[in-house]
Amino acid sequence: MDVSLFRKLAERLDRSTEDMIELQRKLTATPALSPKNGGKGEWEKARIILDFLNAIGFDSIEECNAPDPETPEGTRPNIVAILHGENKERTIWIMAHMDVVPPGDLSLWKGDPYQLRVEGDKIFGRGVEDNQQGLVSAVFAFKALKEEDVIPPYNIGLVLVSDEETGSEYGIQYLCNNFDIFKREDLIIVPDAGNREGDMIEVAEKSILWIKFTTKGKQCHASTPGEGVNAFRAASHLLVRLEKLHGIYDRIDPVFDPPESTFEPTMKQANVENINTIPGDDVFCIDCRVLPDFDLEKVIADIRDIVAGVEKDFGVTIEMAFPQREDAAPATAVDAPVVLALQTAVKEVYKVEAKPMGIGGGTVAAFFRRNGLSAAVWSRMEDTCHQPNEYCKIPYMVGDAKVFAHVFLQE
């Protein structure tokens, strides 16, 4: 790689800091909320982005819009922009999303969540980190290439999608199902998760299984417990017995953090309103994050065996519902080209050794991986996503753009 050329790009990106903040300002002032979150979709924001991309001068910009009758336009926007490289057999992609989540309780914000606020090296506003940091960093890395008249070794592509916050049906899932855009030899970077050090490259995810248990007994007065069947007591024993899952699924995989499968009790619904009534119904939930080499059907079968034991011992019936189930996608190899390229770039820009890791949460990279495509999730961020007073650190926004520029120049 031409080191002097990278330094020129890095210097240009440093000089572009105020312009990056200004683009963040425009995007923040244009809420892009899914109809499921009470919004009109992403089109107003997409038009600002399209104007910006057209001014850069991409070799091609395609709109791959997903039909959605819930929006005023009847579609949700997805943008695919490409700059041609010397070798057109491979494309280095960066995928970011345009939609944001609602601000939540406005009283918790120090200012208007849709008016950008700059304080020191931070910019505040809904969406500035999730996912405008990655979006803006990527756009300006592309812009720096054009301004320096650089033809990269390979094609570089930008994919900006809708609907990431509410399931991706109208975003990357729609693109993967309906368009032949990505090839197996491509490198795909998703700058939508990370840590403060920038040394985590997400390459794998655990399976997700949410279970809602409804225990049904018989309500009665607490002074005559023999007249009823205490659903709360049975549910409590069920919860304790579910601890056996940690022993059954005890494999440790150091790629993940935490390195084991987890089975955590979470939501507990109210049962009765007064102390002197034995509840006839009880509802609680658990959140399971299971290492990908375990079959969720086996996990469910083992849980059903535990449930059957509690039903027999306490004379209750227990219903199981599954609000969410997401089987883990195949992992990206720890030595995949996209991982190695990011490791090289992160070391050059941030002077840290980035490690491939697995996480318990889910990301849109799973859609790529299920289609046989290697994708890595990386960004350097404070992880204030979805919080009141969400912020993005300006040095991270600029630094991430340098990382992307470095990846673009690698042969």
Which residues are identified as catalytic?
A: 99, 164
Question: How does DSSP classify residue 332?
Answer: P
Distance of CA 334 to the CA centre of its chain: 19
The Cα–Cα gap between 153 and 224 comes to 80
CB 341 within 8 A of CB 409: no
First to last CA, the chain: 7
Residue linked to tokens 């979470």: 266
The total of other beta-carbon atoms located within 10 Å of residue 118's CB is 14
Buried b (16+ CB within 10 A) or exposed e, 140-161: bbbbbbeeeebebbbbbbbbbb
**CA nearest 133: which of 196, 191, 72?**
191
The Cα–Cα gap between 341 and 348 comes to 11
Q: Which two tokens stand for residue 335?
A: 């030595």
List C-alpha distances in Å: 185 to 40, 85, 372.
36, 15, 10
The total of other beta-carbon atoms located within 10 Å of residue 12's CB is 18
- Sheet of strand 281-290: strand arrangement: 262-268, 281-290, 207-216, 317-326
List C-alpha distances in Å: 165 to 85, 102, 132, 162.
32, 10, 13, 8
3-class DSSP state of 390: coil
CB 215 within 8 A of CB 283: yes
AA identity, residue 110 = K
List C-alpha distances in Å: 150 to 10, 43, 58, 145.
13, 31, 13, 5
Q: Which two tokens stand for residue 397?
A: 């926004």
Question: How does DSSP classify residue 257?
Answer: S
**Cis omega (within 30 of 0) for bond into 131:** yes
